[in-house]
Structure 1
């Protein structure tokens, strides 16, 4: 199944204590690259998040956003900083003694100073948290996968259509190529006759020149290999496993054959047809860049 590297997925999971919202988006990339934003308190679970996503997605640049809400009041504990409180009391006593002030230091007064009394989250059960987070990550991954499949199908159909166009161009080049050698021989013979006027043309020499030209200008191998690449393209697009890297290599080979034909061509019509093939190959290559 062809899958695009572009997609978006969202997953939610919650219980009576907490909730998770996981959102991820993907774009094309040579490898699988993660960027995960999650609460610092849950950083120990980052590797598990990566592994869970990797079960579904194998290539692309992924931005993952994890939002965590904790509703459990029992997870908060009230703490006191007695060392800091003592400092405040000592400072108040110093002020009192320095200015002969009335001693009205009270608990309510000291407790109002910053950080003397504060709340702190209790250490949570990490496995309990992961059970919920895993559910949200899996849902987001699967939803993203579905979008990637839909877009992948569109990419596949577009490339297959362009493949058929290239095959049609190859057939036209084959037909035109059959005429190139006879036309070259005719032009060469006429040119020699013009130069030598009434002197008979040396048929053996003419045959040798035509044979050398035929060998130099032959594009049969390139046409055969390019046709084979079109078959490979269709086969790759029918595979179930990710084929993005295979397609990258295949696009390079397709371009190589087209470039060789263009360099060998001595016929303007064939040259124009090869340029049309190169244009279609480039369009296919651009689509390949988005395939996982």
Structure 2
């Protein structure tokens, strides 16, 4: 199947203690180019994510956005430090006895004492997180790939249509070219006869040879044949799909070369009009295949 290089995919997973969201966006590029925007926590998983992405995407610029949020309070542990509390209490009681103050010590006063409460947060299990990353990335990639496939199908239909239009224009040129070539040859002979003062001394056989050589230089049958061959390869590759973007680009360069040769060899309004049509359709094809994987 033909694939576009443009697409978007997203998936999210919500756990009791955290949420994970991964978004992927791809655009056309000559090679596979992956960029991550993510918290530092995910740096150890970058290589495995690259490998997972490359199993689905072979060409294009892929931006990966990762959001990770801990649930507030989940996994949070608060423990009293009794040793510190006991020392502060002894100190407070000594002060109250010495100053003849009330020995009631407000709890909120103790709570303000540094290190009297130890707050700790449980770390995310690395194995579970790696599994979740792979799971979310897999679903996001599936969505991205689905969009690239759908867009690829649209590209396929458009490219096949334009290839057919080029075939039709080339067929019209092939149909009218022999007659134009013959007329051109006759016109050249007539002009030569008119320019010579003594046409009776012309070596007619030599003249025929020279005209045939000149007419051969104007012949475009080989170019038309190669255009047909390139278009057949082009259509086969589009229909079969796969990673054909670079090969299609090469074929369009070859088609462009043949069309330019036809334009330089030919004269006359009818063929010039068809050459303009050929170039117009080929330009649209070249623009479209820049987005083919």
TM-score grouping bracket, smaller chain normalisation? 0.7 to 0.9
Give the distance between the partners of 1:259 and 1:120, measured in 2 at CA: 74
1:263 is aligned to 264
Are the equivalent residues in 1 in contact too, given 2:181–2:219 (CA < 8 A)? Answer: no
For the structure 1 residues 183 and 119, does the alpha-carbon distance in structure 2 shift closer, same or farther, using more than 3 Å as the test?
Answer: farther
Task: Kindly report which structure 2 residues correspond to 1:60-209, keeping only aligned pairs within 5 A, or say none.
Answer: 60-71=60-71, 73=73, 75-76=75-76, 111=114, 121-196=121-196, 199-200=199-200, 202-209=203-210
Unaligned 5+ segments in structure 2 are: 80-108
**Does the alignment pair 1:291 with 2:292?**
yes
Are the equivalent residues in 1 in contact too, given 2:32–2:59 (CA < 8 A)? Answer: yes
Are the equivalent residues in 2 in contact too, given 1:8–1:143 (CA < 8 A)? Answer: yes
Give the distance between the partners of 1:219 and 1:117, measured in 2 at CA: 91
Give the distance between the partners of 2:48 and 2:111, measured in 1 at CA: 46
Are the equivalent residues in 2 in contact too, given 1:5–1:26 (CA < 8 A)? Answer: yes
Are the equivalent residues in 1 in contact too, given 2:181–2:218 (CA < 8 A)? Answer: no
Are the equivalent residues in 2 in contact too, given 1:3–1:151 (CA < 8 A)? Answer: yes
Give the distance between the partners of 2:152 and 2:44, measured in 1 at CA: 34
- Residue by residue, what CA displacement relative to the aligned partner does 1:57-86 show, whole Å, maximum 9, x if unpaired? 11111111111122384644669xxxxxxx
How many Å apart are 1:132 and its aligned residue? 1.0
2:48 is aligned to 48
Aligned pair count reads 264
How many Å apart are 1:144 and its aligned residue? 0.9
**Does the alignment pair 1:7 with 2:7?**
yes
- Residue by residue, what CA displacement relative to the aligned partner does 1:245-285 show, whole Å, maximum 9, x if unpaired? 11111111111111222222234432332222111111001
> Computing the radius of gyration over CA atoms, which structure comes out larger, 1 or 2?
2
1:84 is aligned to none
1:212 is aligned to 213
3-state secondary structure, aligned to 1:111: coil
CA RMSD of aligned residues (A): 2.5
- Please identify runs of 4+ aligned residues in structure 1 that moved more than 6 A: none
How many Å apart are 1:45 and its aligned residue? 0.8
How many Å apart are 1:163 and its aligned residue? 0.6
2:282 is aligned to 281
Unaligned 5+ segments in structure 1 are: 80-105
